[in-house]
Amino acid sequence: MDRASRSSSSSSDSSFSSTKAWIVHGIVAGAAIAAALAARTYLGGSRKFRSRVVGIIPARFASSRFPGKPLVQILGKPMIQRTWERAKLATSLNHVVVATDDEKIAECCRGFGADVIMTSESCRNGTERCNEALQKLQQKYDVVVNIQGDEPLIEPEIIDGIVKALQAAPDAVFSTAVTALKPEDAFDPNRVKCVVDNKGYAIYFSRGLIPYNKSGKVNPRFPYMLHLGIQVWTRVFLATVFCIRTLIKGRISVLLLLYSTSQIVFLTLHNDVIWSFQSYDTKFLKLYAELPPTPLQLEEDLEQLKVLENGYKMKVIKVDHEAHGVDSPEDVEKIEALMREHNLS
């Protein structure tokens, strides 16, 4: 066989292999979507969209800024207990648990009646702690509310509001809340700021003031927004990624992660595929937790940036709420003074 013939044959083989690979990928992706739709049909709409909701309060003792913070006393009760009691008033939550890696916190929580899930010390943030706790729960849930334990005066109506926001936004995998930022908190790095688009989706979170104008000063006429320490998330997109990754050993999962607005993802999101893959919940959460940290997340030390930087959408609601988070020992005195002022026991 001459050189031209060999070249032609090699080119033909390469083209055939490439075509064959795309055909295989297409068949597998189509099979995954067909299976999802079939499972949804089988379920027959017997359950409401994202109806099972669990609230998880991640708590750790070894905080760098305030060690032992969950157990600090606020008018005679541990802060973690006050947060738990407020969360229990939310009507949207089917269950509330505390997730911790510390036995002192666990013993305290069991003492006032909370369910506790012990988690690993290796969890890098609250979201990973929620992921691990959810895998250990016997009941399966569609939506998880990540309730920050340092918001002892969180309003249960806010929890209900962000749960409903996520249930009403099938293209979002997270939801959260913001409120008006006080001018004196504009340059406080412990007060996380947020900017939102005109459709109610998060654009960015930062410890610095955003947006930041040329004068470098606070514009008293601009409605700056403060992020409240509560997040709601679901597993729709992760379910889709894991299903296809399982079928083809990861070849298309990378493609979907890079192009999160692709037709396949759009189709699955709008066909409630979360029900179809519910038995794989723990695997999806493990996959999500193992996504590597992102540059913006590491620079700002804000885990919600990992969501945005990976191309996911986060729904944001605006609420009228005066934030009372506890970031330092000095904040405890402020909280207690406020509670006395409003006769809160």
Give the pLDDT band (50/70/90) at residue 342: confident
User: Could you count the other beta carbons within 10 Å of the beta carbon of residue 247?
Assistant: 17
Q: Which pLDDT belongs to residue 244?
A: 37
Given a contact cutoff of 8 angstroms between Cβ atoms, the answer to whether 162 and 175 are in contact is yes
Give the pLDDT band (50/70/90) at residue 306: confident
Least confident of 130-134, 149-153, 283-287: 283-287
Give the pLDDT band (50/70/90) at residue 127: confident
Query: What's the rounded mean pLDDT across residues 5-10?
Result: 47
pLDDT higher at 285 or 139: 139
Give the pLDDT band (50/70/90) at residue 267: very low
Given a contact cutoff of 8 angstroms between Cβ atoms, the answer to whether 59 and 149 are in contact is yes
Q: Count of domains in the chain?
A: 1
Q: Which pLDDT belongs to residue 254?
A: 31
Could you tell me the pTM of the whole model?
Answer: 0.70
Question: Which structural domain range is residue 215 located in?
Answer: 53-333
pLDDT tens readout for residues 46-66:
356 778 899 999 998 877 778
Q: 310 in a domain, yes or no?
A: yes
pLDDT tens readout for residues 236-258:
443 343 343 334 333 333 333 33
Residue 8 above 70 pLDDT? no
Query: What's the rounded mean pLDDT across residues 155-173?
Result: 89
Q: 57 in a domain, yes or no?
A: yes
Q: 239 in a domain, yes or no?
A: yes
Given a contact cutoff of 8 angstroms between Cβ atoms, the answer to whether 252 and 213 are in contact is no
As a whole number of Å, the end-to-end CA separation of the chain is: 92
Q: Which pLDDT belongs to residue 294?
A: 93
Q: What is the CATH number of the domain that holds 74?
A: 3.90.550.10
Q: 6 in a domain, yes or no?
A: no
Residue 228 above 90 pLDDT? no
Query: What's the rounded mean pLDDT across residues 66-93?
Result: 93
Q: 88 in a domain, yes or no?
A: yes
Q: 21 in a domain, yes or no?
A: no
Q: Residue 297: helix, strand or coil by DSSP?
A: helix
- Amino acid (1-letter code) at residue 264: I
User: Could you count the other beta carbons within 10 Å of the beta carbon of residue 303?
Assistant: 18
Q: Where are the alpha helices (DSSP H) in the chain?
A: 3-43, 79-87, 103-111, 126-136, 156-167, 236-248, 251-258, 263-269, 281-289, 295-300, 304-309, 329-341
Q: 235 in a domain, yes or no?
A: yes
Q: 268 in a domain, yes or no?
A: yes
Percentage, residues of the chain above pLDDT 70: 69
Q: How far is CA 31 from CA 27, 271, 301, in A?
A: 6, 15, 40
Query: What's the rounded mean pLDDT across residues 283-296?
Result: 69
Residue 311 above 70 pLDDT? yes
Q: Which pLDDT belongs to residue 153?
A: 87
